[in-house]
Structure 1
């Protein structure tokens, strides 16, 4: 019988680029005409927002906007703010690939300085840090089985995960929200934040049906009084159907949300009062698709009839161990800063992100930056912040080497004054992302049998006694004596392929 080889295409997730680059941000800005002059800058808050990326050959282009909001005191001692959107683009060299790559970019603020050159002119300087990971699925052709010419193979089935694609789907929410009856009318929004959360997800026929909510917080200047500040919170539910190319019934999708744009404008109600908020928010749903496959792998072979040779290669086979979708709640009672009477507004962001996985456990760690505006005993206003470290651990059913490609998002922030110069602060942090486990596997890439050189056998020998040591592998024993491992197992009443203790073996020839 001629040699018949069965070949299999195996998906190998290959890293094309893993780097961190610093992107300078510069802006010479003027205050809008409707803003009063600057007397004192309290805070410059910078949020990096990615607007897209594109791979062309050996280059990755990352586009984004650094949204800088400057909070300052006017000559009347009132809090004001102005926002500036500074676009940026960065080109990074990557290893070219014939397949569609999966791009992951995590932006963070490296440093940022804001200086008032004059009462109406600002100098903004800083840098955005971009952590970039680009991977692609490479096909490796391996031997999955062989028959004929006395060939025996050693192999087993392995479950691997193929990353089938990545999609980014933006959608827009538009809503008109009325202020609660106990809130004063709005003159001007000073700071707005939106937190997007997925409450339900279903996969049907190449589509993902998302249900969720956007929590909106608006800190604003009240109408009719330059010194009166207030805030309002609203929850906007949404439902969205996302088309995902190539998604099948068995595809496992990880979906995360990002608020890429948030605009809130005051609007008059039927009575002419500025008590309506016109909201326009752009959300981006990022979908990462996986498909599990069970593949037969051959790691070694030999022929009992002819001389043979094979080529082996070590590859790293990855599997999706866990699709993390959890939250971590930070809650603490804190003392107000010295001289502070009460908190006017408070918000949070995560810095110093660190994700790791080992020994059956994934860890997400970071530093929570808590920022606040406070009214002071002297009647003024100041900005304060504090940093709190946090760690969140997740049990993972895998003891192999792992990698956690996580990301954080703020899901909710709140505070209440507890009296006696203290406040209760609560922040919910979303943690999402895949945990991949991998292990090097020896695979067979080629096999040749030389039928012109048959193996010599002694017809007078039908059985050999072999004294095996504990821990010896029966496959290696069978290969050495040019026989079948299955025959050794049957003749010796064994079930395992590794010798448990030192003993003699009957080797059929």
Structure 2
């Protein structure tokens, strides 16, 4: 027998009149049928205790609760070296620095972060021609952020920003440079929690109400993806003899929802350092991007809902095969969370009554949208390079957002794209050369409701890029798509129950029969031992029905499952 049928049967047996015209709880266009039914059950159950009064009503919501967040500074020290094929350095013209997160591990009350600092250096060579050259170096780093309340099975988001960097020549080797950088590492831990909130109280009570906007978690799903591809080294590079190092990053370019599924498009970027198969055995560096499409199953997902996808490289192997050429095989982990915007009218206070409350600390989605920008720029060929006759290939090495500003109903974005152009020279030998240039872009995304001070996440993607020679210049054209997502932290204390004395006339056997599994809302002072005694079960049985439940960290308003045992 279902709960709703059992409750209606008791209503009929006791001869109560059930009003069906006006529901005592708030129903919005976003209220799913399951939540509406749950509210009806609570309404009728409480009506049994109060005769013809309008009783307390509840709705169950699932929110991505922020458990803890903090920011910490990390100092990174290391050394970068001018590669062997490059001439000695006389003067640094410019430096670009970026930091990326490679792995994050959650420990109790702490997040350990591993990442990579990448430094790009443009310099004047120590030679008579004073040609301009470019090289980059990478320095790994490890840091941690204290996050009270964090546990290993929770979700964590980490952002890193390079605040300052200093590069000085090494006293031991003129081709080495000491790097000291200051990073700002921000971490936020969240957990999906089910909470039953009060949406209406007895007519005799004077209650305060508020309408909150939340992103109700519909479901989550994970998937492992194997991405593999065979590819050759760039034309201007020698064939590989030995691979020294592989660095991999994954970017989600688009995510869309179909029924019970999330379709994901992404790019896997490989940075490979290898020894060339040439007599001097010089060390070379190359980039290669692999596009992929896959899906994640999420029960209950519908096209009009919102989705957030996180991707991580779990393992990546690159080998030298055949001609020779490279063969890459990488394992990715995709994690999707589907949410649905909801409006819930909740009770925030009730005069003259003792209320159990819970603090909701969640991110409220303000809006998400994208825009396209076309960038055209003309570059001169570097002095040390011959003029181009034909463009062989143009590729994006890196795209970075340098500045984001949120104003009224708009997000203004500035960024840069590092472009690599491979070309055939206009000289008699028609040798193949490569040059690096930087495209700057500026655009905005309109998001209704956005204001200064809100949080924003920006993801740029180069959708199209082309280059054409023009005498000794190169004309570059690119189409860049920028997606912005604006959120706002919402902290709100809401009521989850009215504290009343237990009703002596209540028939406990009818509410909870032996073998029945009920949903119980944690109240102030509850312990698993006390609940096990009350419902004639064991603590171990409660833990079996609630995987991941921490008996030492029960949250008021948290919903758990309990199987009722036989009394006595």
| 1:249 corresponds to | 301
SS in 2 for 1:147: coil
Displacement of 1:393 in angstroms is 1.7
**What per-residue deviation string (whole Å, max 9, x for no partner) do you get for residues 301-344 of structure 1?**
67xxxxx45669896775434344x3543512234278475589
CA contact (8 A) 2:132 2:382 kept: no
CA contact (8 A) 2:65 2:360 kept: no
| 1:59 corresponds to | 110
| 2:475 corresponds to | 424
| 2:229 corresponds to | 175
Unaligned runs of 5+ in 1: 303-307, 451-509
Higher strand proportion: 1
2:369 matches 1:320: no
Identify the range of structure 1 (401-410 vs 260-269) with the bigger mean alpha-carbon deviation. Answer: 260-269
Higher helix proportion: 2
Give aligned pairs, total.
422
Give 1:119-130 correspondences, 5 Å limit: 122-127=176-181, 129-130=183-184
CA contact (8 A) 1:202 1:208 kept: yes
Give 1:5-404 correspondences, 5 Å limit: 5-8=56-59, 11=63, 13-14=65-66, 16-19=68-71, 21-27=73-79, 35=84, 39-40=88-89, 48-66=99-117, 86-96=139-149, 101-109=154-162, 110-111=164-165, 113=167, 115=169, 122-127=176-181, 129-137=183-191, 142-147=197-202, 150-151=204-205, 153=207, 155=209, 158-162=212-216, 171-177=225-231, 186-187=238-239, 198=253, 201-202=256-257, 205=260, 208-212=262-266, 236-242=290-296, 248-249=300-301, 252-255=306-309, 267-269=321-323, 274=324, 276-280=325-329, 285=334, 287-299=336-348, 308-309=352-353, 319-324=364-369, 326=370, 328-336=372-380, 339=383, 342=387, 347-354=397-404, 356=406, 359=408, 361-368=409-416, 370=418, 388=440, 390-396=442-448, 398=449, 403-404=454-455
CA contact (8 A) 2:105 2:152 kept: no
Change (3 A) 1:309 1:249: same
**What per-residue deviation string (whole Å, max 9, x for no partner) do you get for residues 373-408 of structure 1?**
89999x9x9987667362322233x47888343133
For residues 104 and 184 of structure 2, what CA distance do their matches in structure 1 show? 12
Displacement of 1:54 in angstroms is 2.2
Change (3 A) 1:322 1:256: farther
Displacement of 1:262 in angstroms is 7.7
For residues 285 and 102 of structure 2, what CA distance do their matches in structure 1 show? 29
For residues 165 and 71 of structure 2, what CA distance do their matches in structure 1 show? 19
For residues 298 and 147 of structure 1, what CA distance do their matches in structure 2 show? 11
CA contact (8 A) 1:404 1:433 kept: no
CA contact (8 A) 1:195 1:412 kept: no
For residues 317 and 70 of structure 1, what CA distance do their matches in structure 2 show? 41
Displacement of 1:80 in angstroms is 10
Q: What is the root-mean-square deviation in Å for CA atoms of aligned residues?
A: 5.8
Displacement of 1:49 in angstroms is 3.5
Taking structure 1 as the reference length, what is the TM-score of the superposition? 0.59
CA contact (8 A) 1:199 1:211 kept: yes
For residues 123 and 222 of structure 1, what CA distance do their matches in structure 2 show? 24
SS in 1 for 2:56: strand
SS in 1 for 2:149: coil
